[in-house]
């Protein structure tokens, strides 16, 4: 049985990935494993897409959730065609104002859970499969007032490149999807809106549907990084060549 695992499938980009995977791989995926905390929303996404889905209502910051996925893989003997590590959140504000719990929760979900789930899934992957890690343009250079968030995404970019190198020998690709701002629940969860950030108010938006389709294609074609929109592709180059001290007055949120 071939499966696709998508985390954070209950809303936003994750829900778009479910549709994009269905449209691209319809014939080859026997079951979709959809993971997030909100069970009803996951069921709704599965219903809407008419797919054979297994719903995992899990909080990925809980280590028992990673054990549950590992056990499900062992019990089903499934082959994982693709893993999309999409669950994630950020908080806007100065580091000391955000507070310890949210600062820790960001690295628990955006970093530690990705380490965990990727570790338990790789043994079930074969040549031709891939991992798509949802990163961000926040990974290209530090973003003051989103210090922990941008650092978790910089980790994901580095993790993707290094793991991709390691897994080449197995024929498994690893790709980072780097969206710019998208109008999803991410923004209210982060506390972004109503003029809370001039940067976010002025930055061009990325369409989540287009992002899902194009980044999925890039991962399947063996690419390492996908960035949407010319504006952000240019920013990625700038962030590579300019000292980050020069970039930060611009990238501050």
Ligand X SMILES: NC(=O)c1ccc[n+]([C@@H]2O[C@H](COP(=O)([O-])OP(=O)(O)OC[C@H]3O[C@@H](n4cnc5c(N)ncnc54)[C@H](OP(=O)(O)O)[C@@H]3O)[C@@H](O)[C@H]2O)c1
Binding residues (CB under 6 A) for ligand X: these are 7-8, 10-14, 36-38, 41, 59-61, 86-90, 109, 134, 136, 179, 181-182, 184-186, 189
- From 17, 32, 94, 149, the catalytic residue: 149
Of 14 and 116, which CB lies nearer to ligand X in the complex structure?
14
Contact between 59 and 113 under an 8 Å Cβ cutoff? The reply is no
Which of 2, 122, 120, 118 has the alpha carbon at shortest distance from 51?
A: 2
**Does the active-site annotation cover 149?**
yes
Of 14 and 142, which CB lies nearer to ligand X in the complex structure?
14
Rg over CA atoms, the chain: 17
Q: How far apart are CA 129 and CA 131, in angstroms?
A: 7
For the record, the structure tokens of 210 come out as 């287009």
Of 18 and 29, which CB lies nearer to ligand X in the complex structure?
18
For the record, the structure tokens of 142 come out as 């530090």
Residue 106 phi/psi, 5-degree rounding, is -60, -45
Count Cα neighbours of 25 within 13 Å in the Cβ-side half-sphere. 26
User: Which residues of 49-102 form beta strands (DSSP E)?
Assistant: 53-57, 79-85
Report helix, strand or coil for 103: helix
Of 44 and 59, which CB lies nearer to ligand X in the complex structure?
59
Report helix, strand or coil for 179: coil
Active centre residues (catalytic) = 149
């Amino acid at each position: 049985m071939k499966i696709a695992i998508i985390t954070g499938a209950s809303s936003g980009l994750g829900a778009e990935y479910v549709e994009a995977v269905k449209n691209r791989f319809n014939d080859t995926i026997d079951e979709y494993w959809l993971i997030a905390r909100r069970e009803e929303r996951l069921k709704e996404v599965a219903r809407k897409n008419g797919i054979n889905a297994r719903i995992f209502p899990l909080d990925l910051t809980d280590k028992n959730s990673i054990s549950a996925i590992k056990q499900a893989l062992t019990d089903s003997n499934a082959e994982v065609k693709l893993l999309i590590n999409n669950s994630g959140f950020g908080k806007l504000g100065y580091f000391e104002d955000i507070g310890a719990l949210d600062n820790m929760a960001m690295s628990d979900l955006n970093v530690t859970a990705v380490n965990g789930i990727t570790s338990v899934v790789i043994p079930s992957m074969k040549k031709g499969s891939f991992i798509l890690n949802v990163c961000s343009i926040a990974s290209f250079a530090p973003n003051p007032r989103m210090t922990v968030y941008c650092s978790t995404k910089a980790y994901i970019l580095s993790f993707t490149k290094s793991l991709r190198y390691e897994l080449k020998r197995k024929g498994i690709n690893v790709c980072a999807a780097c969206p710019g701002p998208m109008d999803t629940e991410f923004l209210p969860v982060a506390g972004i809106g109503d003029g809370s950030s001039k940067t976010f108010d002025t930055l061009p938006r990325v369409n989540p549907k287009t992002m899902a389709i194009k980044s999925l294609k890039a991962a399947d074609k063996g690419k390492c990084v996908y960035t949407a929109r010319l504006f952000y592709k240019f920013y990625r180059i700038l962030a590579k060549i300019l000292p980050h001290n020069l970039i930060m007055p611009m990238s501050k949120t």
